[in-house]
């Protein structure tokens, strides 16, 4: 995606205090259309507050938020929010509305035609693996946690907003559901075109979904960059320590076959692999017995992976 | 079984009244509930936005709730008069706490995540309130309304004390008359109403949130309609009467009065005995029942309508003594006899007026009266060890005054010592005290002796025909025979039931007797 487009979201020197406690301090970033920014950091680092200042659920003490070059303070908060999808960890489905009615909330607020809303709702539910015939008329309490979160996502996407804000959307789910929903989420065509800001404290999730990661601690930006930059070019000790525990897993997910086999594109592009296949994915394929498809062995892959890490390390030192 | 059949007889006889009272009861409940909802729900919503005020407001509503209902009505009467106004206002105050509290609890019980999500999706504050918070708070809110309804159906029985009608009229009449059938006649329908409302609203509460919204709206339409039941046209007439519950219920009260004098077209309200005089004074009502020697007759310038057909039984005040006292102290008889026939109705009214209204000391009133009648003698120095005469009285001013008169006379005319035991409670306590020798004398009324203590068959009562001399002769005979107690001579006044009107109005209309009143109403 070209980075030369004007940013959709521009945040400048945003600050917020609650009482004596500075929750967000002088945070600035820009986000281009179609990109996904992950706000990452430990609990209480201010990432949720930062997210809520984007749609004015919280008003900043200082700094500005511009959406499409317009200061959000010059727009009615309701109008602003109707143009941004919003998903929270607790989902917050309206318990007295059916699934279909929950999905239809924003289109109805925008005064769209009932027929169009119904069509859109059906399509979205189908795409999110909630067969409308079965689920449209159910109430939230009849659904599992994962199903509820899918409805929440459908609700956020119903009016096709160009921007979607997600606050720990998978936080309340069990690990298995979590992984499967995250995969669906990543593959959801609806979301690919959208500018997404996602809050999480889960490093793996951040690496899986982010174009850019904004790592926060105590309300201050520690580093803003691509996952690869944060992993291989940590700006300070905090960044390094933050990823230390999962370093190897992250490296496996970040480096691609193109990275580990830089000189040998033929080797990299096996029958089922491309240069953008991650080492992790290649390993999974190899261990599940897909040996024949690969033009390299596991030992070759691991050796090349080690070399690649060394190259990254050297580059960083220089 | 007997009670049950008596109950059905009562209901059949009073069917019109029962229906009217039930409608009034529903009207009072619904009207006050409507006010409670109209103020309580917005207040609860406001508190949910300003939680810091909640303890103060809920505390105040809680304090209101703890004020005994009778006391609350008492406070409201000087402000709102009598009738439906104080009743509905009191019920409204009682309904506030559950409604405010449950509205607040309902809103606070809405999951914060749902509200946040709704706001995040772009619902305005008003939309969040209307489409999210109120619908979700509605089950709890309805529970509050249900509580308030049941409370109000119960408390509305007290409306009968302030002339606001309702099923309390039978209940308080029954209590005043110690008539369980009459109490049940009002209490059972009231309990039935409470159960019916409770079941109805309980059913409503179990509806889905969506249906609940529709029902809630319907309720706001239905409540004023039910409240309007109270305003159904009732019988009207030239004059309005206000009667105490006991008077309405007892056979020798309103029923026999109506029969004997043909008091048709005299619509009446029921209210607390303590309030009837006030109601007449402030022209809330025109005709009241009362006692013929009550001090307020003078204080409020009321006229006692002459009972020219002797419907009310005679209640002549007579000292009742233990005969042994007179045998041991023969000098006492002439001293006690000095009050015989001395005190007229109006004289006793005056004395009561001084006590009840001017708050003078009964002893001072008694002395002043004796001086005026030339009977006063300074007390003799009591000899040590002198025999003691013990005088008893019931707890109201008239008896205190009489006792002090006897005490002053005995001290002034004999060498005997006197001990007064005032405030012996009601009739039975005084009577038992006398019978067991705890006291030697107390003033009793012929009618009370007849109807409360002797309780003869109706045939005997009828045979006496309300003749003062015949009644006195009967009680004297029977007391000698049964209890060996002696009724002396009457003091002169007759403290019986009376119909009272404002002096001015009675004069204008030319009404001096109950017959005049009946005649005026029939014109």
Which tokens go with A226?
Answer: 């691509």
CA distance B108 to chain A (A): 15
Distance CA B148, CA B35 (A): 12
Q: CB under 8 Å to B240, separation ≥6 — which residues? A: B267, B268, B269, B284, B285, B286, B287
Select from A55, A79, A94 the Cβ nearest to the Cβ of B120: A55
The token pair that represents B124 in the structure block:
């305005």
Range from A139-148, A210-219, B156-165, B202-211 carrying the lowest mean pLDDT: B202-211
- Sheet containing B388-392: give its strands across: B417-421, B388-392, B441-445, B317-321, B486-487
A109 contacts A130 by C-beta, under 8 angstroms? no
Contact B508, B499 (CB under 8 A): no
Q: Helices in B178-272 by DSSP H: which ranges?
A: 180-205, 209-228, 245-249, 254-261
pLDDT at position A4 over 70: no
Around Cβ B408, how many Cβ atoms within 10 Å?
Answer: 22
User: A155 vs B136: CB contact, 8 Å cut-off?
Assistant: no
* DSSP assignment of B276-317: HHHHHHTTS-SEEEEETT-HHHHHTTEEEEB-TT--SPP-BE
Asked casually if ipTM beats, i.e. exceeds, 0.90, the reply is no
Residues 6+ apart with CB under 8 A from B141: B41, B44, B99, B102, B103, B106, B134, B216
Encode B84-94: b = buried (16+ Cβ within 10 Å), e = exposed.
bebbbbbbbbb
Residues of B in contact with A57 (CB under 8 A): 116, 119-120
Nearest to A157 by CA among A191, A206, A127, A186: A191
User: Which is more confident, B295 or A265?
Assistant: B295
Under an 8 A CB cutoff, do A106 and B117 touch?
no
Instruction: Tell me B383's DSSP state.
Output: P
Which pLDDT score, from 0 to 100, does residue A2 have?
Answer: 46
By CB atoms closer than 10 A (0-12, 13-18, 19+), residue A131 is exposed
The rounded distance, in Å, linking the Cα atoms of B180 and B450 is: 21
Q: In this structure, are strands A212-217 and A220-225 parallel, antiparallel, or unpaired?
A: antiparallel
Q: Is B277 exposed, middle or buried, given 0-12, 13-18 or 19+ CB atoms closer than 10 A?
A: buried
Q: Do A86 and B121 touch (CB under 8 A)?
A: yes
Distance CA B429, CA B380 (A): 31
Contact across the interface for A105 and B208, Cβ inside 8 Å:
no
B326 touches chain A (CB under 8 A): no
Q: Please give the structure tokens belonging to residue A158.
A: 């119903």
CB–CB of B122 and A82 under 8 A?
A: yes
Contact indicator for B170, B21 with CB cutoff of 8 Å:
yes
Distance from first CA to last CA of chain A, Å, rounded?
A: 29
Q: Which residues of chain B have pLDDT under 70?
A: 1, 232-236, 251
d(CA B238, CA B264) in angstroms, rounded, equals: 11
Find residue A86's DSSP bridge partners.
A165
Classified as helix, coil or strand, B348 is helix
Instruction: List chain A residues with CB under 8 Å of B111.
Output: 90, 92, 95
Q: Which residues pair with A39 in a beta bridge?
A: A199, A214
The tens digit of pLDDT for each residue in A165-189 reads 999 888 777 888 788 888 888 888 8
Question: Rounded to two decimals, what is the model's pTM?
Answer: 0.74
Q: What is the distance between the alpha carbons of residues B379 and B410, in angstroms, rounded to a whole number? A: 8
**Tokens coding B180:** 């369980």
CA distances from A295 to A251, A283, A306 (A): 22, 13, 18
Task: Judge: A105–B123 Cβ closer than 8 Å, yes or no.
Answer: yes
- Max Cα distance, chain B (Å): 102
Q: Distance, in angstroms, between A60 CA and closest chain B CA?
A: 16
Q: What does residue A215 show for φ and ψ, rounded to 5 degrees? A: -90, 125
Per the listing, tokens 């103060």 go with: B56
From A78, which residue of chain B is nearest by alpha-carbon distance? B122
* Cα–Cα distance for residue pair A237/A239, rounded to 1 Å: 5
- State how far the Cα of A92 lies from the Cα of A105, in Å rounded to an integer: 13
B113 vs A57, A79, A90: nearest CB: A90
CB B263 within 8 A of CB B257: yes
CA atoms within 13 A on the CB side of A274: 1
- Is the per-residue pLDDT at A293 higher than 70? no
Compare all CA atoms of chain A with the CA of B136 and give the residue at the minimum distance: A96
Interface with chain A: mutation pick from B116, B117, B133, highest number of A CBs within 10 Å: B117
Residues of B in contact with A96 (CB under 8 A): 135-136, 208-210
Q: What is the 3-state secondary structure (H, E, C) of chain A?
A: CCCCCCEEEEEEEEEEEECCEEEEEEEEEEEECCCEEEEECCCCCCHHHHHHHHCCCCCCCEEEEEECCEEHHHCCHHHHHHCEEEEECCCCCCCCCCHHHHHCHHHHHCCCCHHHHHHHHHHHHHHCCCCHHHHCCCCHHHCCHHHHHHHHHHHHHCCCCCEEEEECCCCCCCHHHHHHHHHHHHHCHHHHCCEEEEEECCHHHHHHHCCEEEEEECCEEEEEECHHHHHHCCCCHHHHHHHHCCHHHHHHHHCEHHHHCCCCHHHHCCCCCCCCCEHHHHHHHHHCCCHHHCCCCHHHHHHHHHHHHHHHHHHHHC
Output the CA angle B54-B58-B63, nearest 5 degrees: 150
Query: What is the SS3 assignment for B322?
Result: coil
Q: How many CB atoms lie within 10 A of CB B345?
A: 17
Q: Determine, for residues A88 and B132 on separate chains, whether the beta-carbon distance falls below 8 Å.
A: no
Distance from CA of A76 to the nearest CA of B (A): 10
Beta carbons of A95 and A139 less than 8 angstroms apart? yes
Q: Which of B120, B123, B130 to mutate to test the interface with A (most CBs of A within 10 A)?
A: B120
Tell which wins on pLDDT, A144 or B381: A144
Inspect the interface and report whether the beta carbons of A81 and B119 lie closer than 8 Å.
yes
pLDDT over 50 (residue A199): yes
Rounded-to-integer distance, Cα A238 and Cα B522, Å: 103
Angle at the Cα of B475 (from B470 to B476), degrees rounded to 5?
95
How many whole angstroms separate alpha carbon A181 and alpha carbon A129? 10
Mutating which of A80, A105, A106 best tests the B interface, going by the most B Cβ atoms within 10 A? A105
Instruction: For the beta carbon of residue A267, count every other beta carbon within 10 angstroms.
Output: 17
Nearest CA in chain A to B137: A96
CA triple B497-B503-B506, angle to 5 deg: 85
Residue B91 CB partners (closer than 8 Å, separation 6+): B28, B29, B31, B32, B33, B36, B152, B155, B156, B159
Least CB–CB distance from B120: residue in A81, A96, A109: A81
Residues of A in contact with B118 (CB under 8 A): 92, 94, 105
Residue A276 pLDDT: 78
pLDDT, residue B461, reads: 86
């Amino acid at each position: 995606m070209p980075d030369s487009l004007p940013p959709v979201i521009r945040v400048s020197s945003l600050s917020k205090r609650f009482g004596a406690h500075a929750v967000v301090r002088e945070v600035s970033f820009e986000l281009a259309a179609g990109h996904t920014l992950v706000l990452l950091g430990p609990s209480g680092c201010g990432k949720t507050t930062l997210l809520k200042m984007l749609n004015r659920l919280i008003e900043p003490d200082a700094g500005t938020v511009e959406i499409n070059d317009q200061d959000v303070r010059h727009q009615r908060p309701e109008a602003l929010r109707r143009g941004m999808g919003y998903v929270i960890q607790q989902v917050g489905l309206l318990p007295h509305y059916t699934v279909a009615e929950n999905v239809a909330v924003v289109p109805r607020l925008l005064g769209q035609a009932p027929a169009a809303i119904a069509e859109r709702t059906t399509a979205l539910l189908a795409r999110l693996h909630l067969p409308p015939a079965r689920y449209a008329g159910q109430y939230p309490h009849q659904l599992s946690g994962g199903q509820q979160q899918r409805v929440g996502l459908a609700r956020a996407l119903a009016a096709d907003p160009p921007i979607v804000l997600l606050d720990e959307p998978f936080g309340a789910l069990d690990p298995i559901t979590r992984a499967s929903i995250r995969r669906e989420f990543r593959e959801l065509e609806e979301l690919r075109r959208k500018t997404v800001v996602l809050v999480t404290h889960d490093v793996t999730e951040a690496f899986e979904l982010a174009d850019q990661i904004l790592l926060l601690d105590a309300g201050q930006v520690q580093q803003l960059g691509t996952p690869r930059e944060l992993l291989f070019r940590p700006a300070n000790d905090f960044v390094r320590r933050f990823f230390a525990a999962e370093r190897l897993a992250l490296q496996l997910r970040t480096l691609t076959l193109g990275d580990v086999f830089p000189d040998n594109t033929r080797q990299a592009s096996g029958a089922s692999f491309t240069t953008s296949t991650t080492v992790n994915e290649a390993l999974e394929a190899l261990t599940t017995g897909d040996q024949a498809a690969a033009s390299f062995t596991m030992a070759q892959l691991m050796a090349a992976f080690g070399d690649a890490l060394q190259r990254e390390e050297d580059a960083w030192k220089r | 079984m007997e009670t049950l059949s008596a109950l059905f007889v009562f209901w059949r006889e009073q069917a019109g009244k029962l229906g009217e009272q039930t409608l009034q009861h529903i009207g009072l409940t619904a009207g006050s509930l409507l006010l409670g909802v109209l103020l309580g729900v917005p207040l609860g919503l406001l508190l949910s936005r300003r939680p810091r005020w909640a303890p103060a407001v809920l505390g105040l509503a809680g304090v209101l709730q703890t004020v005994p209902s009778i006391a609350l009505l008492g406070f409201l009467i000087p402000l709102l008069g009598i009738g439906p106004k104080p009743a509905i206002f009191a019920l409204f105050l009682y309904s506030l706490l559950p409604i405010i509290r449950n509205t607040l609890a309902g809103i606070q019980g809405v999951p914060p995540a749902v509200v946040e999500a709704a706001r995040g999706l772009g619902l305005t504050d008003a939309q969040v309130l209307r489409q999210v918070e109120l619908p979700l708070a509605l089950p709890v809110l309805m529970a509050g309304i249900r509580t308030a309804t049941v409370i109000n159906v119960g408390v509305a029985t007290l409306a009968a004390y302030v002339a606001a009608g309702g099923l309390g009229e039978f209940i308080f009449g029954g209590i005043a008359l110690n008539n369980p059938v009459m109490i049940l006649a009002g209490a059972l329908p009231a309990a039935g109403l409470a159960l019916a409302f409770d079941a109805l609203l309980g059913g409503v509460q179990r509806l889905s949130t969506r249906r609940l919204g529709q029902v809630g709206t319907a309720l706001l339409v239905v409540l004023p309609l039910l409240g309007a039941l109270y305003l159904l046209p009732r019988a009207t007439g030239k004059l309005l009467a206000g009667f105490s519950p006991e008077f309405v219920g007892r056979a020798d009260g309103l029923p026999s009065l109506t029969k004997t004098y043909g008091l048709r077209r005299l619509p009446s309200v029921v209210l607390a005995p303590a309030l009837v005089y006030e109601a007449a004074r402030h022209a809330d009502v025109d005709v009241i029942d009362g006692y013929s020697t009550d001090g307020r007759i003078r204080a409020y310038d009321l006229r006692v309508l002459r009972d020219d057909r002797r419907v009310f039984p005679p209640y002549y005040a007579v000292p009742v003594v233990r005969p042994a006292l007179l045998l041991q102290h023969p000098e006492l008889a002439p001293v006690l006899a000095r009050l015989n026939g001395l005190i007229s109705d109006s004289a006793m009214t005056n004395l009561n007026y001084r006590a009840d209204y001017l708050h003078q000391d009964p002893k001072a009133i008694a002395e002043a009266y004796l001086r005026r009648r030339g009977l006063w003698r300074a007390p003799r120095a009591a000899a040590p060890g002198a025999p003691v005469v013990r005088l008893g009285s019931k707890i109201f001013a008239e008896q205190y005054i009489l006792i002090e008169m006897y005490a002053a006379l005995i001290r002034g005319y004999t060498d005997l010592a006197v001990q007064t035991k005032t405030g012996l409670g009601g009739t039975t306590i005084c009577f038992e005290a006398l019978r067991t020798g705890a006291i030697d004398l107390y003033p009793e009324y012929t009618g009370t002796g007849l109807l409360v203590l002797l309780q003869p068959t109706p045939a005997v009562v009828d045979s006496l025909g309300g003749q003062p001399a015949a009644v006195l002769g009967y009680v004297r005979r029977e007391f000698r025979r049964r209890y060996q107690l002696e009724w002396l001579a009457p003091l002169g006044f007759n403290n019986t039931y009376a119909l009272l009107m404002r002096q001015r109005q009675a004069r204008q209309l030319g009404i001096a007797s109950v017959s005049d009143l009946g005649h005026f109403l029939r014109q």
